[in-house]
Amino acid sequence: MDLQLRGRTALVLGATRGLGLACAEALAAEGVRVLLNGRDAEHGRATAARLPDAQFVGGDVARDGDRRAILDAATRLGSPDIVVTNAGGPPAGLFEETDLSMWRAAFETNIAGPLELVRALLPAMRQRGFGRVLNITSFVAKELYPNMSLSNSVRVGLTGAMGALAREVAHEGITVNGLLPGLMDTGALQRVIRDRMQRTGASEQAVRDAMASSVPARRLGTAADFGPLCAFLASPLAGYITGQNICIDGGLTKNVV
């Protein structure tokens, strides 16, 4: 299927590893010019060099000044048709272990970053009559997960804000959707696995096996499972799909809809 994405431009935040990179790769494979973001500049530049038509912009989405630098780079690229919001995700932990500085950091990274960047990019999308906003959040937006106080909260918050935006811009050719990873074998899950090993004393293999067996597909997901949906939802073919939050989770999330 030709996704009709050739010649489009995308800003993919948190795109130098894991699920963000999977999205950048899937878009690049469809002929999209991609601007990749991450904090580690050396790794980011090397990653961009491996993609067909990609550039790197360094910056922490939690920081105001860095967000401005990311936007400047996006404007130089010609203002993106597609923006994928992403970052590393807040640490695992119980509610009582989570102090206010951690809540503030999670808010800046996983809510304020996406909101500020998307808000700044909307006028150009509106002018063009085409825009795609894709937010990488988490399955916990649909079904709470234990020991994930911060993630459970910030995912729900961003989903609410983006759900409102989706309905406000739907008539302008702009769609806004959530990509909700389940238990994917990339950096964020590896950090959760380490946390569980420390709390329970279980081996890495035991934690992995328990996680995999909790998934109806009987395996953890991979980055390769994740990118294709991003490319499809970014395409003109998906123009009537908006305000949705789609799990890529092997059946993990047990919601009726």
Ligand X SMILES: NC(=O)c1ccc[n+]([C@@H]2O[C@H](COP(=O)([O-])OP(=O)(O)OC[C@H]3O[C@@H](n4cnc5c(N)ncnc54)[C@H](OP(=O)(O)O)[C@@H]3O)[C@@H](O)[C@H]2O)c1
Which parts of this chain interact with ligand X (CB under 6 A)?
13-20, 37-40, 43, 60-62, 86-89, 109, 136, 138, 181, 183-184, 186-189
Closest distance to ligand X from the beta carbon of 1 (Å): 26
Minimum separation from the CB atom of position 165 to ligand X (A): 19
> Is the CB of 173 or the CB of 190 nearer to ligand X?
190
Least separation in angstroms between CB 78 and ligand X: 21
* Closer residue to ligand X in complex, CB, 106/125: 106
Residue 250: count other Cβ atoms within 10 Å of its Cβ: 19
Measured from the Cβ of residue 201, the count of other Cβ atoms closer than 10 Å reads 8
Measured distance CA(247)–CA(257) in Å, rounded: 11
CA–CA distance, 255 with 143 (Å, rounded to integer): 8
Nearer CB in complex with ligand X: 28/169:
28
CB of 203 to ligand X, least distance (A): 19
Largest CA distance in the chain: 55
Nearer to ligand X, 37 or 149 (CB): 37
Q: How far is the CB of 148 from ligand X (least distance, A)?
A: 9
In the bound state, the residue with its beta carbon closest to ligand X is 89
For 255, half-sphere exposure in the C-beta direction (CA atoms, 13 angstrom radius) is: 12
Q: What does the buried/exposed string (b/e) look like for 144-174 if buried means 16 or more CB atoms within 10 Å of the residue's CB?
A: ebeebbbbbbbbebbbebbbebbeebeeeeb
Taking the least distance from each CB to ligand X, the nearer of 169 and 220 is: 220
